[in-house]
Structure 1
Amino acid sequence: MNHYVDKNVKLKRTLTLAPVVLIGLAYMDPLVVFDSYGVVAQETKGHVPLSYLVILVALLFTAYSYGQMVKAYPVAGSTYTYAQKSIHPTVGFLVGWAVLLDYLFLPMVNFAIGSAYLSAAFPQIPGAIWVLLLAIMITTINIFGIKLTANMNTLFVTFQTLVLVVFVGFMIKGLVNGLGSGTLVTLDPFYTPDIDVSLILTGASILCFSFLGFDAVTTLSEETLQPKKTIPRAIFLIALIGGLLFTCTSYFLHLVHPNFTAFKKADAASLEIAKFVGGAFLYSFFLSGTMVAVFSSSLSSYASASRLLYAMGRDGSFPKAFAYLHPKWRTPVFNILLIGLISLTAVLGELEVIYSFISFGALIGFLFVNFSVIAHYYWRQKQRGGMNFIRYFLCPTIGVMLTLWLFTSLHGSAMLLGTAWLVVGLLYSAFYLKGRKPVFELDIS
């Protein structure tokens, strides 16, 4: 059974801070703020920027906890490894199982969105053809190595940022010329007398999936130079940059189109706004940016999902075939192909169900990385005096409380589907793993 694992074939360290940050931002997708804006604007009654600030504050504490755990375990398994090593192997497996909801289903979401846009532009071509073409291209690029993925994402994130800047520029020009609210400065997106805190939290819980990039890059620790130094910095920068971009962009979206009840189609509200402020040019330019975003987010989510499966296969939680690395390309080829096959189910649609899965899995991961800091540093290593109390107990405890707060705002379908997924994982753990400890121990000294 162990012939799949050649310990002489390892993931190749090539990544520095900048490409890691770019992979994380690509995973988050700088343009995702436009995809979810209309729905969340109606959910929060026009307070989308405030919801982004709430989730940003909450996740900066969790980002700090990720940074602390990367220093302890700079390996490819992310939250799965942290909970496994710091709390208990079974807990670690269940956390990894939950986080797989994010990693495995995000490419499917991207392909479904991409297929929808391309089908609208070329109605004579069936949507299934676009899904197949996207899956083939993304799978092939990921197989040929993380460096190629990083280089592609550098180009894509640059273009997405350009689209974002142009869109915001058109909105500012429109506001100066009297469109929408006709002002550049107002507190309305953040506070109005009729504000409902529960709706703000519901909006924040929906938006949490937008921040998955800072978590995803922890799976690249074994392919990053000086991971104990580079990954924590990247995590914080990804969360902060992404959060500020989302907050500022949604702020201008509200100002230029304050009547959030007037959208013809909430999930395509940004296309309406693009045409409203920039005509056919901005409409087409924004559409091209959205397709690039689909491509770059898919590249990054493939990379992260395949590394998590690799880590779980390497230590025996999954069959050893998941731990295979191609001797030349140093990539987990079988895992990448499997993700490609799963992503083909995008032809079935049902995006609301997939989004529910993603939100549940994300918050489970955020919750347990905070628990892992407390378990590893505060309880196991007994680092409790002075600033250590703040670093290893107070900050992660705040992260736990904020994450639980967001959990209470999840829709019932997310809780039901997520719980069912965890029950399946628990049964797998009980009857296949039978409580055995991981068989692979990586030297991280």
Structure 2
Amino acid sequence: MKQRAELSKTLKPQWVWAIAFGSAIGWGSFVQPAIWMGQGGPLGVIIGFLIGALIMLVIGVSYGFLIEELPVSGGDVAFVYATFGRTHAFICGWALTLAYVCIVALNASALALLAKFLLPAAVEWGYLYNIAGWDVYFGQILVASIALIVFAYMNVRGTTLTGKTQFIFCVLLLAGVALLLLGMIFNSDTSFSNLQPGFKPGISSWSSIIAIVAIAPWAYVGFASIPQVAEEFDFSPKKAFSLIVFALIFAALEYSVMIIVTALPMPWQELVALNDIWGTGTVVAGTLGNVGLFILAVSLCMGIFTGLNGFYLSASRVLVAMGRAQFLPKSFASLHSKNNTPQIGIITVCILCLIAPWFGRSALSWVVNMSSTGIAVVFFYCCFVAYKSFRWSRQNQDDTKTIAPVKKFMSLLGSLFGLGILALLLIPGSPGFLSTPSLVALAIWIVIGILFYLFRRPVFQKIPKDEMDYMILGKVNKAKDGQEPPLSTTN
């Protein structure tokens, strides 16, 4: 049997928390508050994000169990393979890879957006064309491209560097957000009355909340970075669930605080009516001056950096799992001879993302919105795997499955939440229904996935089951005589 190259166990608990939290925050909480308030009102957004965090926490119960069972790179791919086999594992890996790559690209474009707001003359040069109402400049492409290359290089250099810098970025981000909140609360020109009405007028409060809940998979997807890097834990996988909990709590609070920071300086409906390219930046600059804008810019940079760093890490580990399974060429499973990092996966993510800035931010946002569908599919898969791994009660004396009715119920609930989020995105008339361009992007993504599957299927179907188990799971997943294993592998 071929030997399986394994990643080094270098990630400390605080670094893993930072990877999850920083990836969950990214740039969105600093750039999107005015847009979100236009969809649901301040209170609708905050309640929506809190409900979204609770839904993700239910899903996190399943992840916590599965990480303990299978602490390997590209955890979601391994989880789904262990129970549903190769085809479903391919679907899961394809969905997750594209979602992660899209978010890396969007974080890079957010850096160009920040530069456009703060230093327009420095980036708005070399006009090329207009796509979907967005002017594309070579200066903006250059900013995004440099960021992508720098973070790709950092990830190739080693996981220790990635983990340390991620933690520092998160500390600076939280410090900046705390300073902004205090500055707004104690400023004489701000008022909590500006948060009224709490929900978007003209629609029910429930619709306001659901519109935000629908984007929860996208907003909190960073917590699902934890299973992707589980092979590199230098601590017990049993700590994974507590790290998921803390990452989600901090993320929910941060999203809520930035809504309040954005709404305090002026009536939120007036801010939304301005249709400003960066509403949060405008009100912070107008209320707290250049000092406040500097703090916001630093915090936003940290959010972008944590998103770039975290999703490079996660995407490349999913590609490792897909390379081990030969869903992709096996070179994706190879590691750097000195740094022991998946350099092929990291470079591939970089190259794909370097294409994105040339299409403009508006066109890229269609793809990112569509990627929420893939994330919801992955959440459903993994929760259903956990559901099948628990028992309500012992069926016979030789039953080896875990007896955990509460966890089984939570896993079932997580599966239903995944389906519910999928329905919000795909059922016409629902508050979270995807736009036509996003649906077109989704259809293209599915067609490409089918074609790639048909191309690779003859390769990975030839691999013997024991070898495939070892390459993906790190072990041969066999049961005792006549028994079903805790995570049963099928073909």
The alignment's TM-score, normalised by the length of structure 2, stands at: 0.81
| Equivalent in 236, 241, 262 of residue 250 of structure 2 | 241
Letter in 2 for 1:346: A
Within 1, Cα distance between the matches of 2:339 and 2:400?
44
Q: Specify which of 103, 118, 122 is matched with residue 100 of structure 2.
A: 103
Partner of residue 36, structure 2: 40
1:421 match: secondary structure: helix
The CA deviation at 1:16 is: 2.2
The match for 2:448 is 424
The residue aligned with 1:155 is: 168
- Aligned ranges for residues 168-247 of structure 1 at < 5 Å? 168-174=181-187, 177=188, 179-182=190-193, 189=198, 195-247=204-256
1:412 to 434, 458, 462: 434
Asked whether the equivalents of residues 100 and 315 of structure 2 are also in contact (C-alpha less than 8 Å), the reply is yes
- Give, in angstroms, the shift of residue 189 of structure 1: 3.8
Which 10-residue stretch deviates more, 254-263 or 240-249?
254-263
Within a 5 Å distance, the mapping from 1:261-272 to structure 2 comes to: 261-263=270-272, 264-265=274-275, 267-272=277-282
**Which letter maps to 1:407?**
L
Partner of 2:144: 131
In structure 1, distance between residues paired with 2:400 and 2:334: 40
Q: Distance in 1 between matches of 2:475 and 2:238?
A: 14
Corresponding residue pairs, total? 436
The alpha-carbon deviation at position 203 of structure 1 amounts to 1.8
**1:6 to partner: Cα distance:** 5.7
In 2, distance between residues paired with 1:371 and 1:244? Answer: 29
SS in 2 for 1:326: coil
Which AA in structure 1 matches 2:336? H
> Could you tell me how far 1:45 is from its partner in structure 2?
3.3
User: Structure 1 residues 98-107 or 369-378, which shifts more?
Assistant: 369-378
Deviation at 1:95? 1.3
2: CA distance, partners of 1:403 / 1:250: 26
Structure 2 counterpart of 1:377: 390
Distance change (3 Å), C-alpha of 1:182 and 1:276: farther
1:142 corresponds in structure 2 to 155
Measure, in 2, the Cα distance between the counterparts of 1:230 and 1:187: 41
Amino acid corresponding to residue 390 of structure 1 in structure 2: V
Amino acid in the other structure paired with 1:146: T
Q: Which moved more, 1:138-147 or 1:243-252?
A: 243-252
Rg larger for: 2
TM-score computed with the length of structure 1 as normaliser: 0.89
Residue identity in the other structure for 1:294: I
State how far apart, in whole Å, the 2-side matches of 1:345 and 1:443 are: 34
Indicate conservation of the 8 Å contact 2:284/2:293, yes or no.
yes
Note if 1:276 corresponds to 2:286.
yes
Matches within 5 A, 1:55-70: 55-70=52-67
- 1:357 Cα deviation (Å)? 2.9
- Tell me how far apart the structure 1 counterparts of residues 32 and 289 of structure 2 sit (CA, whole Å): 21
Q: Which amino acid aligns with 1:21?
A: W
CA separation of 1:339/1:385 partners in 2, compared to 1, >3 Å: closer, same or farther?
A: closer
Q: Which runs of 5+ in 2 are unaligned?
A: 124-138, 426-432, 477-491
Partners of 2:257 and 2:295 lie apart in 1 by 20
Deviating 4+ runs (over 6 angstroms):
190-194, 381-387
Partner secondary structure for residue 214 of structure 2: helix
Change (3 A) 1:416 1:18: same
The amino acid of 2:192's aligned partner reads: S
Determine the C-alpha separation between the residues in 1 that align with 2:287 and 2:122.
30
Q: Which runs of 5+ in 1 are unaligned?
A: none
How much has 1:428 moved relative to structure 2? 2.6
CA shift for structure 1 position 427:
3.4
